[in-house]
Structure 1
């Protein structure tokens, strides 16, 4: 019984992954044809002769068509990746407008991967471990698009409120030539920024999850070229107000998620991220549910009775591994252990902070009298020495 279930599950899962790969390939082919039609129309309008096929750069399209004509081996990760990233642009040096420092080799590779997403009209997730410079790589992408691709903007970056100041400082350090608006603050402060946004005299707008919902009427007006979401794993709930606002009020087809959190082994969460990134492919939660949550319901009589029971833990793990395979062209994750040779040596600085006058007075009282003061200036015995030590530590660790 278990063998039959496992065999059918492997076949059905592989079939879904194969159909996804075919959709990606067909999507690339359709886009190429639209680009060729646009080029022909532009040349015809300019009075140029109809170009020969050799005049068009069809090398990458031919490769995609060749992959379409053969059976796509989804177990071959290189073939699958090449199909998704059919247009490759080699990057050896960072943009000249990125002046805050020199990118590490793995960061240049990250930039090249994100540029490949752009060239191939794909969206993705930069999921490097925390501390590897996702913010800097994102700024590098924007400077590259502005400098090399002549794409002045506009770029919308949505971040947690706690990190918006750091993002602003990093832009000032690494790309001071870019015009960046930090859209935050109270109504009066935002009203002044609304005027700047309406004028369109900017490259980048930084804002928060809350304000992109509250002020969607203003923030959805510009013609955004790119949407970047920091802490992108928060979008895994497709029913959240943030996801619905971004999908319904904002027309931004190019999207990049940043997260240092590995993808969780949850089918709904994985589908939520895929749907946000590639809605034209992952457009039906019902189909996804049928394939991956209830794969045995329509087994055509191959399985009966207990064999059609819900997936067990082992089978769910197998399915999720297949989904991770689907995500490979659209997700880049490096951990510190992989690139530690490129990281600077860790240095620790011990900074001694003196106690305030109030801290020092309470500390001395506990030390000398084994008492503490509470409301009403009532003295209470701290008790045993272990509790005296605990109270003293609490005084030192709290700035009062």
Structure 2
């Protein structure tokens, strides 16, 4: 049974690696990171096809597998050889790629039946044509009031590529490298270049809400921000901005970006789920690391074209958290939580402890799966682009009450007496 579970997990990882390979060839994460690591999948797994094809050609042996094999009872992991299992995994990966394309294409279709972003569905922006990105160069939006650093501009290119493929991603730059301004620049790009003025949804910890509002107003004053917080009565008034029939989003719209907290988005989930969000940005995305949390489940139900996760914390070695992340960015592919959990159940995990190298290899593969969807730069890699660190001492006068408390402490008054006073 332990060997069967190993083969099942290997199947899950293989199909996701193949999916990552197909997408990774398109979004070029390695080029942005200047990294030499890549998923170990041979280029021979695909064949060149016609320029305007909508799918990736597969070997003839799996060409007729046009549906995903999600019922693992249909696969005999004891009898099937590795080649057959890999062929099924490849077919699953191919269909997941097609689903991502179809989902983005369907979202782009407006109520009048006009495809506003049809240019992203033609041969030049198709998964069949990975060479198209080699000449694609996204420049900084004119409406952005700051000057992006070179690595931030590369990040913008990467994020735009993800968006145009209908793929979700994780921007995991180290704290202080400008994840906020890079994500804001994507919204500016969509508005300026493709006339997509939202609605955009930014969800962040309550302590950073005002900062998000100020940063958007500072860097892209053209975008109107709706600060969605306050008590229930206040929020009811704010919902009038979007709770209207046939609302359209253009430069003159009442708002383009809605900023709110994780707590409020869970409380008001039914209202948020009514909206078709063009882009959902989750700041401090470690807040959704638990697949059992109400916020994780609520956010999965939001109708949005793309999801972008921002986090300065690298992916941890907790397998359940890793699955939650994989499912959130690739729900149509990495959806077998029960199968994933089976391998990491106590009995199997205990059995595997005798072979730690196997676990380490699997963990490495799981992290490699994320590579095309996660961009991370650290300060030491972009040190030349960072300005000199300037430290300023800012003196603040104490209030009357603070001065009294401070004086009493200096006089060594007892804590009890201090509290009573």
In 1, Cα distance between equivalents of 2:412 and 2:128: 83
In 2, Cα distance between equivalents of 1:281 and 1:359: 57
For residues 83-98 of structure 1, the aligned pairs below 5 Å read: 90-98=136-144
Structure 1 counterpart of 2:289, from 236, 254, 259: 236
How many residue pairs align between the two structures? 326
The one-character-per-residue Cα deviations of 1:311-363 (angstroms, maximum 9, x if unpaired) are 65543332211111111000001111111111111111112334445555565
In 1, Cα distance between equivalents of 2:419 and 2:287: 48
Aligned partners of 2:188 and 2:220 also within 8 Å:
yes
Call closer, same or farther: CA 1:88–1:226 in 2, change over 3 Å.
farther
Aligned partners of 2:173 and 2:378 also within 8 Å:
yes
Is 1:150–2:150 an aligned residue pair?
no
For residues 219-368 of structure 1, the aligned pairs below 5 Å read: 219-248=272-301, 250-290=302-342, 292-293=343-344, 308-310=351-353, 313-360=356-403
Structure 2 counterpart of 1:372, from 404, 413, 416: 413
In 2, Cα distance between equivalents of 1:180 and 1:376: 48
Does the residue aligned with 2:276 lie in a helix, a strand or coil? Answer: coil
Call closer, same or farther: CA 1:296–1:349 in 2, change over 3 Å.
same
Call closer, same or farther: CA 1:296–1:347 in 2, change over 3 Å.
same
In 2, Cα distance between equivalents of 1:378 and 1:124: 51
CA shift, 1:145, in A, is 1.2
Aligned partners of 1:294 and 1:311 also within 8 Å:
no
In 1, Cα distance between equivalents of 2:318 and 2:133: 32
Aligned partners of 1:229 and 1:256 also within 8 Å:
yes
Aligned partners of 2:9 and 2:340 also within 8 Å:
no
Aligned partners of 2:151 and 2:382 also within 8 Å:
yes
Is 1:57–2:123 an aligned residue pair?
yes
Call closer, same or farther: CA 1:327–1:118 in 2, change over 3 Å.
same
Corresponding residue number in structure 2 for 1:79: none
Q: 5+ residue gaps in structure 2?
A: 23-93, 107-112, 115-121, 248-253
Aligned partners of 1:293 and 1:310 also within 8 Å:
no
Does the residue aligned with 1:115 lie in a helix, a strand or coil? Answer: helix
Bigger CA radius of gyration: 1
For residues 127-146 of structure 1, the aligned pairs below 5 Å read: 127-146=172-191
Call closer, same or farther: CA 1:366–1:307 in 2, change over 3 Å.
closer
Does the residue aligned with 1:252 lie in a helix, a strand or coil? Answer: strand
Is 1:109–2:162 an aligned residue pair?
no
Q: Which has the higher contact order (CA 8 A, sep 6+)?
A: 2
In 1, Cα distance between equivalents of 2:164 and 2:123: 14
Call closer, same or farther: CA 1:179–1:311 in 2, change over 3 Å.
farther
Call closer, same or farther: CA 1:219–1:342 in 2, change over 3 Å.
same
Call closer, same or farther: CA 1:352–1:27 in 2, change over 3 Å.
same
Aligned partners of 2:96 and 2:332 also within 8 Å:
no
Aligned partners of 1:126 and 1:258 also within 8 Å:
yes
Corresponding residue number in structure 1 for 2:28: none
Structure 1 counterpart of 2:268, from 203, 208, 215: 215
Corresponding residue number in structure 2 for 1:51: none
**TM-score normalised by length of structure 2:** 0.68
In 2, Cα distance between equivalents of 1:129 and 1:338: 10
Does the residue aligned with 1:94 lie in a helix, a strand or coil? Answer: coil
Q: 5+ residue gaps in structure 1?
A: 39-44, 47-55, 65-81, 298-305, 380-399
The one-character-per-residue Cα deviations of 1:167-190 (angstroms, maximum 9, x if unpaired) are 000011011111210100112321
Call closer, same or farther: CA 1:274–1:253 in 2, change over 3 Å.
farther
